[in-house]
Amino acid sequence: MNVKPDFTRHANQAATAPAFFSVHDIHAYYGESYIVQGVSFNVHEGEILALLGRNGAGKTSTLRTCARVGDPELRKGEIWLDHQPLHKMKAHEASAAGLGLVPEDRRIIPGLTVEENIKLAQIAPPVGWGLDRLYELFPRLGERRKQEGTTLSGGEQQMLAIARALARDVKVLLLDEPYEGLAPVIVDKIEEALIEIKSLGMTTVLVEQNAVRALKLADRAVILDTGGIVFDGTAAEVLENEELRAEYLAI
């Protein structure tokens, strides 16, 4: 019998350790489709966690479950952010509690300028970074602040999506494929911003198809496969483990 190595030992241990952002045994459904099948991971304050896995592994569904958007529906498990029970909250409450989801499609609001998109995020408390600070992080947004958000390039729209999350008082940033479709030089710019944000103490969960790039940036990594965790460890361990990369990441 071919017994697969067990890379999950840390996942089960980690669930009981106190962490700043803690996802414990979550199960979520799209209608009757059981998709997130008992996912657990911990993210320590100030850390970047790479959440990886093949297409359809459940990465987006896991982030959406954490953000409490309702689809998929969380039916079991707990999600804690800085001692607050997100599993008991609706999406707007989770957002107010500091959960900042930057979705893959970026959701720039049509008909609004860059600045109006940001200001809309600041309409309700708790407000985070101000405009000056955001434009310092992303000078391109400052230059284009009067331009309609949807007319920006893909990279600039990604910057705007991240800026909008930071404009709220965010405690954990969940980024769904921020590098997708972007030229390498633009990816460099986004990555520089993520490093800058981390240096200020931000806690981040990074979902990326560009696994090598994500692993070089991340402190730790979790690998998902068919809705469950198959690895929880350091980013360096994944980079060094050819078997693991070939099996679950195809890199």
Ligand X SMILES: Nc1ncnc2c1ncn2[C@@H]1O[C@H](COP(=O)(O)OP(=O)(O)OP(=O)(O)O)[C@@H](O)[C@H]1O
Residue number with CB closer to Mg ion (150 or 209):
209
Residue number with CB closer to ligand X (61 or 204):
61
| 33 binds, options ligand X, Mg ion, none, Cβ within 5 to 8 A by partner type | ligand X
**Residue written as token pair 């940033």:** 173
| 53 binds, options Mg ion, ligand X, none, Cβ within 5 to 8 A by partner type | ligand X
Q: Which residue is nearest to Mg ion (CB)?
A: 60
Q: How far is the CB of 124 from ligand X (least distance, A)?
A: 27
Closest Cα to residue 221, out of 53, 6, 27, 18?
53
Contact assessment for residue 29 and residue 75, using Cβ atoms and an 8 Å cutoff: yes
Q: DSSP 3-state assignment of 111?
A: coil
Q: How far is the CB of 59 from Mg ion (least distance, A)?
A: 5
Q: How far is the CB of 55 from Mg ion (least distance, A)?
A: 8
Residue number with CB closer to Mg ion (105 or 136):
105
Q: How far is the CB of 60 from Mg ion (least distance, A)?
A: 3
Peptide bond into 103 cis (omega under 30): no
Residue 74 tokens, joined: 């969380």
Going 110 to 116 to 121 to 124, the CA torsion angle's sign is: negative
| 189 binds, options Mg ion, ligand X, none, Cβ within 5 to 8 A by partner type | none
Residue number with CB closer to ligand X (148 or 180):
180
Q: Which chain residues interact with ligand X by CB under 6 A?
A: 30, 33, 35, 53, 55-61
Strands 228-234 and 220-225, bridge-based pairing: antiparallel
- Angle among Cα 211, 212, 217 to the nearest 5 degrees reads 95
